[in-house]
């Protein structure tokens, strides 16, 4: 698979922001991986310190904050739409520490991951299961009458 961070060959001159956008796209596409600001800087072809300044000037937020809030947004979506455990969700959006996840999530969403999840209808109630599946898996096990009573 071609990484988004790869700079296409023989490109025409692009405004500097185009390289910053490539780093932003990398965060959006690969947030689930062990991605950090160093990787984003590499995708933009800049040193880390220079990249962080340029990114903030272009998009109004530091790359660190952008990546973190992308991960929290994806985690919030998983809290609403899946019944996976909070720890599982934390690691699956690329965060390494459950403690910092809970702290950052609570700061940004003004409630804990568990409270956030509880404020939405349960994920299972939102799932559209095809009628053939409902019919196949909902049929009860046959229990013959009048035997062993």
Task: Report the interface residues with another protein, using CB under 8 A.
Answer: 1-2, 4, 8, 11-18, 20-22, 24-25, 28-29, 58-59, 128
- Closer Cβ to another protein, 57 or 115, answer by number: 57
Contact predicate 100/91, CB 8 Å: no
The CB-of-42 to another protein minimum distance in angstroms stands at 16
The CB-of-96 to another protein minimum distance in angstroms stands at 23
Coil, strand or helix: which one is 35? coil
> d(Cα 77, Cα 4) in Å, to the nearest integer?
23
The CB-of-129 to another protein minimum distance in angstroms stands at 13
Name the phi and psi angles at 99, rounded to 5: -60, -50
- Closer Cβ to another protein, 12 or 145, answer by number: 12
- Closer Cβ to another protein, 31 or 105, answer by number: 31
- Closer Cβ to another protein, 57 or 134, answer by number: 57
The CB-of-18 to another protein minimum distance in angstroms stands at 4
> d(Cα 53, Cα 56) in Å, to the nearest integer?
5
- Closer Cβ to another protein, 124 or 145, answer by number: 124
Question: How many angstroms separate the first and last alpha carbons of the chain?
Answer: 63
CA 34 to chain centre: 12
């Amino acid at each position: 698979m071609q990484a988004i961070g790869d700079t296409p060959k023989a490109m025409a001159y692009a405004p500097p922001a185009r390289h910053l956008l490539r780093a932003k796209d990398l965060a959006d596409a690969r947030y689930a991986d062990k991605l950090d600001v160093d990787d984003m800087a590499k995708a933009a072809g800049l040193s880390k310190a220079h990249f962080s300044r340029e990114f903030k000037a272009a998009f109004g937020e530091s790359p660190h904050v952008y990546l973190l809030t992308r991960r929290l947004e994806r985690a919030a979506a998983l809290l609403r739409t899946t019944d996976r455990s909070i720890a599982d969700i934390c690691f699956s959006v690329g965060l390494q520490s459950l403690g910092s996840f809970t702290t950052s999530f609570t700061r940004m969403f003004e409630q804990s991951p568990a409270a956030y999840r509880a404020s939405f209808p349960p994920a299972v109630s939102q799932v559209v299961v095809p009628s053939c599946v409902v019919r196949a898996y909902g049929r009860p096990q046959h229990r013959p009458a009048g035997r062993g009573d």
